Amino acid sequence: MTFTSTTPRRLRSLWQELCSQPSAPWRTDLICRGCYPEDLPQRLRQDDAAALRALIAARSGAGQTSEFAGMALIQAILPTLVTIANRDHQACLDDYIGEAWVVIVTFPLSRTNKVCTNVALDCLHAISSRRQHSSPETPAESIDISAPEMQEPGQVASDLLSAAEELGIITPTSAPVLRSVWVEALDCTTAAQRHNTSPTAVRARCSRASRAMRQHRDELLAAS
C-alpha cells in the first residue's frame, strides 16, 4: 500500500536517540565488534553472524540492550519492509513493522543464511497467510486499510503473551515472569528478585517460552 507514512521517520528518530546514548558503543560491540552504532543496521544486513547475535540480544530480556538490538534489526530490515508494503494493496507499513517484532521473537536461530532478508520475508509470509485464511466474503467496506499508529514493542509482546497463555502455549505460572522481561524490559536479575527466583530460572523460562511460541507460531499469530 503506497501512502505517506511517518513511521520510517519516527523509527529513524528513535534509532538516532538510542545511538546517541553513552552506552550505545558498548551495546554495539556486543553484537558487532568495532562497528559504530549508526552503522550497525547496514552491518546486520551484510553479516549473518552479527544478525544472529542481534536476535539473541533482542530476545534476551536484557532491558535497554534488548531494545537497542531489536531496533537495530528493525532498521536493518526497514528498507525491505517499505518495498514490500508499497506493493501490498491491503496491509500497510505499520502492519509489517508490528509483524517484525513478532518475527524477531520467534525467528529460528538455526536459519543462519540471509538472516535479515528472511526476517523480512517471514513478515510477508505471515501477513499473506492470514489474508489467505480470512473469509473471502468479508465486505470490502468493512476492511480498514488506513495506517494505524505503530504499536509499541511492549504492547506487541503483551498481546503475544496474552494469546500464548490463552492457547496454553505458556503456563499461568510463567506468564508473570515473561511479562516482567518481555513487556516491562526488566533484566533477568531484577525479574528474578521480583518473582523470588534465580536469574538462571528466569532465563530458562524465557528460553522454553520462546521455543514453545516458535513451535505454535501460526496459531499464535492468528490469535494475537
Pick 153-223's CATH classification: 1.10.260, 2.60.40, 1.10.10, 1.10.150: 1.10.10
Residues 115/56, Cβ–Cβ less than 8 Å: no
Cα angle vertex 95, ends 187, 208, to 5°?
35
List the chain domain ranges: 7-132, 153-223
Sign of CA dihedral 112, 14, 24, 39: positive
pLDDT score of 178: 85
Model confidence, pTM: 0.61
Tens-digit pLDDT profile for residues 196-212: 988 888 877 877 787 78
pLDDT for residue 22: 93
More confident residue, 55 or 128: 55
For cell 515473561, name the residue.
Answer: 178
pLDDT at 158: 74
Alpha-carbon dihedral of residues 161, 222, 58, 122, nearest 10 degrees?
Answer: 170
What are the start-end ranges of the H helices in the chain?
Answer: 7-19, 24-31, 40-46, 48-58, 64-87, 93-106, 115-133, 153-166, 175-178, 188-194, 199-215, 217-223
Contact by Cβ (8 Å): 147, 93: yes
Rounded average pLDDT over 119-136? 77
CA distance 62 to 64: 6
